[in-house]
Homo-oligomer: A and B are copies of this chain.
């Protein structure tokens, strides 16, 4: 071994040292609690799925440019999952008859995409996926959006987020009927609209000119993009009236206007969406990327069999959420991994130290000791470094009286405590 190996993680991925992991566990804990309060249950699937599972319905950009894939030793072409919804659909389809409806499921998988690493985008990230399948569509859409809102409430950030809503059926009606576009032009305009926020109104209009539309058609599309939040009130009587439009109006009537609003330019990239679509944005103008998004899909379960079951869901990435929480200072100070350090008093008292440690552990304390017989001063220093709250000192004198010394590193207090009352003392001195 002449060359030393690099200590860096693979580009676009992260090492989670204990302090990073504490943050992740805190964040995931809040996510789990918020979602479970609605009765959603956690599921998981394998990391590798057949390449074909993504080839049909995931966005073309992901499949052709961003998928990690390999051919296994049995000649199967497998992909590392870039998103969770296809796995969800496969699993639901596999037990469609047996699962009580509506199916309320969530997952927290790690996902992979070959991306140029940049702020908010990594090659490996974790994503909260929440979906409800079955039941009334309107009620399902309203519930999934309420869950999304509750997540930000759980972090104390509900006023810092706006969730923007649109409808694929509505969009389709607008482009085909109102604007009079053919199939191909409808697809091209829809794709361009998905980049509206990135491009801005001006660049959008300019690019629209390159799609071979008539001046009237261009004017209609631009006029549609200017249909703001106020436009939704009279929608049912306007030239945009349609089934998708009705769905939009009904859904918005179910939602709190402080958080939710109609936006004509929301599309979502995935090709499988067929009804309601939505994206959440930070109200702070510095953060212009969507925090997360989702929508309704009617035809995913049918990829696996004859039966259909409509669903709606969203995916919230850990990197975007962490950026959001840090930007708005919503992360509290997180505790350490050790409550008590018991000093290691030397080989002849090793059994005593182990007995105290066992007692503390059985009582729910996270209790450690040093792994050498250094001086007590050095051992206390190591307790400070670990962030322990207490040091239990096994000095000869105290032990002779059936006592142990206790140092509270947070308060600075020090006391001698009878051995049998140690647990009680530590509990009351928190």
From 25 to 50 in chain A, residues with beta carbon under 8 angstroms from any chain B beta carbon are: 25, 36-50
Q: Do A6 and B135 touch (CB < 8 A)?
A: no
Q: Do A15 and B47 touch (CB < 8 A)?
A: no
- The answer to whether the Cβ of A143 comes within 8 Å of any Cβ in the partner chain is yes
**Least CB distance, A108 to chain B, in whole angstroms:** 11
- The answer to whether the Cβ of A68 comes within 8 Å of any Cβ in the partner chain is yes
Q: Do B385 and A39 touch (CB < 8 A)?
A: no
Q: Do A143 and B371 touch (CB < 8 A)?
A: yes
Closest residue of chain B to A33 (Cβ to Cβ) is B364
- The answer to whether the Cβ of A124 comes within 8 Å of any Cβ in the partner chain is yes
Q: Do B9 and A46 touch (CB < 8 A)?
A: yes
**Least CB distance, A179 to chain B, in whole angstroms:** 29
**Least CB distance, A267 to chain B, in whole angstroms:** 23
Q: Do A112 and B47 touch (CB < 8 A)?
A: yes
From 67 to 112 in chain A, residues with beta carbon under 8 angstroms from any chain B beta carbon are: 68-70, 72-74, 76, 78, 80, 90-91, 93-95, 100-102, 104-105, 110, 112
Stretch of A16-24, A228-236, A269-277, A320-328 that contacts chain B:
A16-24
Q: Do B303 and A53 touch (CB < 8 A)?
A: no
CB contacts (< 8 Å) of A7 on chain B: these are 90-91, 93-94, 304-305
- Supposing A5-B90, A304-B5, A368-B104 touch, asked if A72 and B114 sit within 8 A by C-beta, the answer is yes
Q: Do A372 and B16 touch (CB < 8 A)?
A: no
Within the assembled complex, what's the spacing in Å between the Cα atoms of A140 and B344? 13
What 0/1 pattern do residues 149 to 174 of A give for CB contact below 8 A with B? Answer: 01000000000000000000000000
Q: Do B303 and A1 touch (CB < 8 A)?
A: yes
- Supposing A4-B304, A10-B48, A140-B371 touch, asked if A39 and B94 sit within 8 A by C-beta, the answer is no
Q: Do A47 and B371 touch (CB < 8 A)?
A: no
CB contacts (< 8 Å) of A47 on chain B: these are 13, 47, 80, 110, 112, 124
- The answer to whether the Cβ of A181 comes within 8 Å of any Cβ in the partner chain is no
- The answer to whether the Cβ of A224 comes within 8 Å of any Cβ in the partner chain is no
Q: Do A43 and B17 touch (CB < 8 A)?
A: yes
Contacting A46 at CB < 8 Å: which of B43, B73, B124, B136?
Answer: B124
CB contacts (< 8 Å) of A372 on chain B: these are 135-136, 139
Within the assembled complex, what's the spacing in Å between the Cα atoms of A277 and B20? 31
Within the assembled complex, what's the spacing in Å between the Cα atoms of A102 and B25? 23
What 0/1 pattern do residues 277 to 304 of A give for CB contact below 8 A with B? Answer: 0000000000000000000000000011
Known: A5-B56, A39-B337. 5 other contacts (CB 8 A): A7-B90, A13-B47, A37-B367, A38-B366, A41-B337
